[in-house]
């Protein structure tokens, strides 16, 4: 049984849709959503960026045997004389990847290559460049050169057979591909791609290629949304620009519902006139309209649209080009990741503010920042010039968001502030 938004909001001790703190909105969204459960199996090379559907248990130990970390000579550490040079007889050679029967006894050693399996009884490797002398049949080690156990890698020190190698929910990255390959795993269970339909609303919008009529603007939100959704690994359904007409909006939302798990729209959710978006959204489903205590991006519609027995979660983002990105990053992103079954928290870091920042307590501000490292290696952040919610340039110039929390007031130069690097979001 699908919950209603009212079931979720009634759990909050105080709920005012017209003055909703960011964290309450994030919590309602999180509690209302349902993850997509279907999974599929993909080849390792197709798994990059996908969400691991279950824990991967290591079928083997890596490395499978104790082996040498260096090119050198393997021997028993107990043979080392702490006070005088130790000379060992060389009784064989061990190459990486080639089994050997070498079994040096006390006072003996074998030449060994990096990755070569340690012969039984040997626990220490002297790198060849650390030997005091090397001849065809012996090596000499000066006292104090190394200790028992040096330069030996243990079987299973990377991964132990039977232990979890990767946890379900992980977004698979390059290192994970390598790790899975090291286990000999060729196919990976992942959650199926999330299908996300998106469109822009507004009669003033023109598509690139069309003439820009008086008072019109080019639709940029569809391009930022395309970029953000693609980076998240969604399967995207670009529905273009939808006119501010009831029938056009209804058709668009119904058709999005038929094929998508989630719908992301921009524009038409504030209280301005000539917007049918809110009305149609409300008619087609369980949708609520919020004014969030944040800047930029106060208006947000959220809920579930239903049509012909199908339903899709709806994120009605504001129209302003910066607001749409900020609302996407701080509401839709985590929500879509949760729908994908992904566990990918965003890291906030504290950095010194290079200058004072004006900030009103009682709302969360997402200012566009440029973090840089000075000659002394210290990181500071400064705000990009104009912070208007329509100034997309502030996003392209920035490399991070400065997050000024609800309770926070003015920031003085030198104060620490929370930032989120775009590299962690995009």
**Tokens describing residue 113:** 């290559």
Residue 9 interacting partner from Mg ion, ligand AMP, none (CB closer than 5 to 8 Å by kind): none
Q: Judge whether 75 and 88 are in contact, CB under 8 Å.
A: yes
d(CA 373, CA 83): 50
CB of 249 to ligand AMP, least distance (A): 12
Q: Which residues pair with 388 in a beta bridge?
A: none
Residue 204 interacting partner from ligand AMP, Mg ion, none (CB closer than 5 to 8 Å by kind): ligand AMP
Residue 79 interacting partner from ligand AMP, Mg ion, none (CB closer than 5 to 8 Å by kind): none
Pick the closer one to ligand AMP by CB: 47 or 196. Answer: 196
Pick the closer one to ligand AMP by CB: 268 or 369. Answer: 268
CB of 390 to ligand AMP, least distance (A): 6
d(CA 239, CA 158): 47
- In the complex, the residues that contact ligand AMP under the rule CB under 6 A are 200, 202, 204-205, 217, 219-222, 266-268, 270, 272, 318-321
C-alpha torsion 392→394→398→404, nearest 10: -110
Q: Which residues pair with 217 in a beta bridge?
A: 205
CB of 270 to Mg ion, least distance (A): 8
Q: How far is CA 34 from CA 5, 52, 86, 275, 327, in A?
A: 13, 17, 67, 29, 20
Pick the closer one to ligand AMP by CB: 176 or 275. Answer: 275
Give, in degrees to the nearest 5, the angle at Cα 287 between 281 and 290: 105
Pick the closer one to ligand AMP by CB: 42 or 216. Answer: 216
d(CA 87, CA 80): 9
CB of 277 to ligand AMP, least distance (A): 8
Q: Which residues, in sequence order, are CB contacts of 172 under 8 Å at separation 6+?
A: 47, 48, 49, 50, 51, 52, 166, 188, 190
CB of 49 to Mg ion, least distance (A): 33
Residue 132 interacting partner from Mg ion, ligand AMP, none (CB closer than 5 to 8 Å by kind): none
Residue 343 interacting partner from Mg ion, ligand AMP, none (CB closer than 5 to 8 Å by kind): none
Q: Which residue is listed with tokens 């968001």?
A: 401
Pick the closer one to Mg ion by CB: 281 or 402. Answer: 281
d(CA 166, CA 177): 11
Residue 321 interacting partner from Mg ion, ligand AMP, none (CB closer than 5 to 8 Å by kind): ligand AMP
- In the complex, the residues that contact Mg ion under the rule CB under 5 A are 202, 267-268, 319
Decide: helix, strand or coil at residue 254.
Answer: helix
Residue 107 interacting partner from Mg ion, ligand AMP, none (CB closer than 5 to 8 Å by kind): none
d(CA 378, CA 42): 43
According to DSSP, residue 414 is labeled T
Pick the closer one to Mg ion by CB: 118 or 241. Answer: 241
- The residue whose Cβ lies closest to ligand AMP is 319
Pick the closer one to Mg ion by CB: 9 or 265. Answer: 265
Residue 119 interacting partner from Mg ion, ligand AMP, none (CB closer than 5 to 8 Å by kind): none
Pick the closer one to ligand AMP by CB: 266 or 353. Answer: 266
């Amino acid at each position: 049984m699908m919950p209603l938004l009212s079931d979720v909001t009634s759990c909050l001790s105080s709920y005012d849709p017209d003055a909703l703190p960011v964290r309450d909105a994030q919590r309602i969204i999180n509690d209302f959503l349902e993850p997509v459960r279907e999974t599929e199996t993909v080849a390792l090379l197709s798994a990059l960026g996908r969400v691991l559907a279950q824990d991967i248990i290591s079928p083997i130990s890596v490395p499978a045997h104790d082996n040498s970390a260096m090119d050198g000579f393997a021997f028993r550490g107990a043979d080392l004389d702490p006070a005088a040079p130790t000379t060992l007889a060389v009784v064989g050679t061990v190459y990486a990847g080639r089994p050997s029967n070498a079994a040096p006894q006390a006072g003996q050693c074998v030449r060994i290559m990096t990755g070569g399996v340690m012969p039984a009884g040997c626990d220490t490797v002297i790198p060849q460049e650390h030997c005091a002398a090397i001849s065809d049949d012996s090596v000499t080690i000066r006292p104090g050169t190394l200790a028992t156990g040096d330069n030996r890698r243990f079987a299973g020190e990377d991964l132990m057979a039977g232990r979890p190698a990767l946890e379900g929910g992980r977004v698979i990255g390059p290192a994970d591909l390598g790790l899975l390959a090291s286990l000999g795993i060729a196919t990976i269970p992942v959650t199926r791609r999330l299908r996300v339909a998106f469109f822009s609303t507004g009669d003033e919008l023109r598509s690139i290629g069309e003439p820009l009529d008086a008072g019109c603007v080019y639709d940029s939100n569809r391009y930022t949304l395309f970029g953000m959704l693609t980076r998240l690994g969604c399967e995207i359904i670009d529905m273009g620009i939808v006119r501010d007409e009831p029938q056009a909006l209804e058709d668009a939302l119904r058709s999005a519902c038929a094929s998508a798990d989630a719908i992301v729209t921009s524009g038409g959710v504030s209280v301005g006139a000539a917007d049918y978006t809110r009305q149609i959204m409300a008619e087609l489903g369980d949708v609520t309209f919020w004014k969030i205590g944040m800047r930029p991006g106060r208006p947000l519609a959220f809920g579930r649209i239903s049509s012909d027995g199908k339903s899709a979660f709806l994120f009605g983002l504001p129209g302003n080009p910066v607001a749409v990105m900020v609302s996407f990053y701080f509401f839709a992103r985590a929500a879509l990741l949760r729908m994908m079954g992904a566990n990918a928290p965003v890291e906030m870091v504290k950095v010194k503010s290079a200058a004072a920042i004006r900030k009103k307590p009682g709302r969360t501000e997402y200012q566009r920042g440029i973090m840089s490292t000075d000659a002394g290696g210290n990181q500071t952040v400064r705000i990009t010039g104009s912070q208007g919610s329509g100034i997309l340039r502030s996003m392209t110039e920035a490399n991070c968001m400065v997050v000024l929390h609800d309770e926070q007031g003015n920031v003085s130069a030198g104060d620490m502030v929370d930032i989120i690097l775009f590299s962690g979001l995009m």
